[in-house]
Structure 1
Amino acid sequence: MAGVDWLWILHPFLAVVLVYPLVGVVVRLAVQTRARRLQKQNLPVTVGRDHSDLGRWLAAAVVIVVLIALSVVIGTKVPVAEFKGGLGRAIQLLLVLVGTIVSLLALWRCKRPGLRLAFSLITWAGVLGLGAQPEVWRLSDNPLTPAFWQSHYWAGVGVTGLMLFSLGARAEILRDIRMRRLHVTANVLAALLFLTQGLTGTRDLLEIPLGWQKSTIYACDFNAKTCPSLDPNAQP
């Protein structure tokens, strides 16, 4: 594997060792928090706070891992000399990336509801803006097609938005029963999307060849599921 190939597996590596363990812990604490609130179990008073604190870390980790994935795909899809738009576009995309990270940090520290909403939307818009670049592969952009709902990218964008909602509305969720119910609904959906991401991410890893294999693999006809025959006299 070349260096670029290691960069391409950085996103799934971080998802496996960081995001999914956090998902398990946060879900477990969520169940305990609800059980304690309903007085079904005698649990420590700290479970709610632990759930909220780790939920913040989960939301931030999801955004960062997604940004890493998008940055690697955009930055390594083609050689630097062939990068569409040249230096000007590269600088623009870098500014979007930096602005998205700054917005996430501001959301993490901000207390005022209006600013939290604004920074949540700005962060998500940054993710969507980077994801809309032509270097980012998507099965489909049409929600009326089955391929759209099987897309690893769109499920990832969706779960990122749900995580940003939970992070931005954290204070309201703690004190408003209606927001708490919305939070539960949103995170049940997020849990389903995380399961989907595990499946589609594994599928996509099988379809991504190593750098030195791409010229041969991409010569295949993916619709007909055929590849050109290799010259048996060619040197390996």
Structure 2
Amino acid sequence: MNPKDIAGLIHPTLAVVVVFPIIGMVVNLAWQIRQRRLQTADKGKSKIPPVVGPEHRKIGNWLTGSVVGITLVAIAYSIYFKGIFKDFKSENMTLAILIVTIFIATVASLVFLYKAKTKLWRGIFATLTGAGIVVLGFQDGVFRRDYEWAVSHFYYGLIASILMIFSLAIVPEIYKDRTHKWRKIHTILNCLAVVIFLGQGMTGSRDLLEISLSWQQEHLYKCDWQNQVCPDSKSQTLSPEILVASISNYPTLAQTNKVLASGEFVTITPGEDTQGTAEIIQVGNKTQVRTTSYHLRS
């Protein structure tokens, strides 16, 4: 594993070691608070100590920070290794500075959100924190799985982060509100958050299966993802100057991934569009020619 691969493990490691244990503690304390409230209303007292309330709030604050933090770690990894910083050019300096500034501003907004006392400032810093995560999340290099957005680890994480930020912002209102409106909103949204966290666990595990080590990527790029086949160990790469393929019934070969069989020989010579490399690959018991930017002709 190289440094890029090791850096890629930071996000899932934090999720397993930090975030999900905190989720378990917060949910457990929330359940105890609910049971204590019901027991007190019914019998006038409860064996559950009143300390569960302050503990729930304290650990809930930890959860917000850990969820937002782990989200920023994942986004930073994607932007650095796959986005603008991957092949950095001087003309991108302004955008790079802007991205770094937004990262700093997002973290600062979260810190100020913890310290804000008035409703106005809590709303401002919550909005700035959420907006920063959204803007950073839609930078180049961040894999969002837009073609399957309903099961996207990115979108689940984005929603979870915003819900956690909102929950942190409304905590003082919960204690002030005698109608329990904010408490009900808090409960409903965080029940939704628990479901999203379960989805995070499943989609995150799926994505880990799909992410390869750096040294494996060059080989995997040669695979046919639509047909779910990859070249085997017998694959060979030929130079663009001449490609001799053993085929039958195909005097002209002008498209990629044409299924070949043993028989006649066809010589493919370079032309204006012949750049890169072409491969003869074995897929099962069939031979195929896989090309990149070739125009193949007999």
**Matched residue, 1:52:** 57
2:90 matches 1:87: no
Q: In 2 relative to 1, CA 49–171 (structure 1 residues): closer, same or farther, beyond 3 Å?
A: same
Alignment of 1:177-192 (within 5 A): 177-192=180-195
Q: In 2 relative to 1, CA 35–175 (structure 1 residues): closer, same or farther, beyond 3 Å?
A: farther
- Which residue identity is paired with 1:181? K
Q: In 2 relative to 1, CA 233–211 (structure 1 residues): closer, same or farther, beyond 3 Å?
A: same
2:67 matches 1:62: yes
- Which residue identity is paired with 2:130? W
Say which is worse superposed, 108-117 or 80-89, in terms of deviation.
80-89
Shift of 1:80: 4.5
User: Partner of 1:82: helix, strand, or coil?
Assistant: coil
**Matched residue, 2:43:** none
**Matched residue, 1:149:** 150
User: Partner of 2:223: helix, strand, or coil?
Assistant: coil
Shift of 1:91: 1.2
Shift of 1:86: 2.7
Alignment of 1:1-236 (within 5 A): 1-39=1-39, 41-77=46-82, 80=85, 82-83=87-88, 86-140=92-146, 147-176=148-177, 177-231=180-234
Structure scoring higher RCO (CA < 8 A, sep ≥ 6) equals 1
Q: Whole-Å Cα distance in 1 between the matches of residues 236 and 230 of structure 2? A: 17
Q: Whole-Å Cα distance in 2 between the matches of residues 185 and 193 of structure 1? A: 13
Q: In 2 relative to 1, CA 221–10 (structure 1 residues): closer, same or farther, beyond 3 Å?
A: same
Higher percent of residues as helix: 1
Shift of 1:83: 3.5
Task: Look at both structures and tell me which one has the larger radius of gyration over its CA atoms.
Answer: 2
Shift of 1:215: 1.5
Q: Whole-Å Cα distance in 2 between the matches of residues 185 and 78 of structure 1? A: 37
Q: In 2 relative to 1, CA 137–4 (structure 1 residues): closer, same or farther, beyond 3 Å?
A: same
Shift of 1:34: 1.1
Higher percent of residues as strand: 2
Q: Whole-Å Cα distance in 1 between the matches of residues 93 and 75 of structure 2? A: 18
Shift of 1:74: 0.7
Q: Whole-Å Cα distance in 1 between the matches of residues 137 and 219 of structure 2? A: 27
User: Partner of 2:39: helix, strand, or coil?
Assistant: coil
- Which residue identity is paired with 2:160? V
Q: Whole-Å Cα distance in 2 between the matches of residues 79 and 31 of structure 1? A: 45
Q: In 2 relative to 1, CA 106–78 (structure 1 residues): closer, same or farther, beyond 3 Å?
A: closer
Q: Whole-Å Cα distance in 1 between the matches of residues 86 and 210 of structure 2? A: 26
Shift of 1:232: 5.2
Percent identity between the two aligned chains: 39
Q: Whole-Å Cα distance in 2 between the matches of residues 139 and 62 of structure 1? A: 20
Shift of 1:230: 4.5
Give the root-mean-square deviation of aligned CA atoms: 1.8
Q: Whole-Å Cα distance in 2 between the matches of residues 226 and 121 of structure 1? A: 46
Number of residue-to-residue matches in the alignment: 229
User: Partner of 2:143: helix, strand, or coil?
Assistant: coil
Say which is worse superposed, 34-43 or 23-32, in terms of deviation.
34-43
**Matched residue, 2:247:** none
Shift of 1:150: 0.4
Shift of 1:26: 0.4
Q: Whole-Å Cα distance in 2 between the matches of residues 162 and 79 of structure 1? A: 29
